[in-house]
Amino acid sequence: MAEKKKNLDSYIPFQLPSAEKYRIGIVVSEWNDHITDSLLKGARETLLQQGIKEENIVVKHVPGSFELPTGAAHLIRQTPIDGVICIGCIIQGETRHFEFIAQATADGIMRLNLQQPVPVIFSVLTCDTMQQAEDRAGGKMGNKGVEGAISCLKMIAFDQQS
């Protein structure tokens, strides 16, 4: 089990690169929207705290996590952005559907990272229960949307240093 003290959501803002000139895309799954809305809120608030202007945060919704890679690819092609955060929530059910969707989503986002000129961040919860998802969407395990935003900013900075 992860420990809260190891989560990125307890970051120190001045340790992150200045983000005021960045333009960030966020692709959000509508499935389990009470979870993904909370993750989006955490990501958006973190980006704003780091100096990104509201108009430089582009949010697009897709039906489910499986569609996140396609949504991110469209956003990269159609919008000048520095990075994309993919937000979703996949919860284990009674069939193997969970495994297929989680693997396809992870593979799709990883492929985008290798093929696209901007970082694409995997901010998708893959939980056994709704309680685990709630714990990671602003509950006792922090907010993984915050972590997605931090990862995105760090990877943009990393890319610009290269």
Q: How far apart are the C-alpha atoms of 25 and 58, rounded to whole Å?
A: 5
> Is the CB of residue 85 less than 8 Å from the CB of residue 52?
no
Distances (CA, A) of 116 to 70, 103, 111: 12, 20, 8
Q: Which of these is catalytic: 34, 61, 74, 97? A: 97
Please indicate whether residue 34 is annotated as part of the active site: no
Which of the residues are catalytic? 97
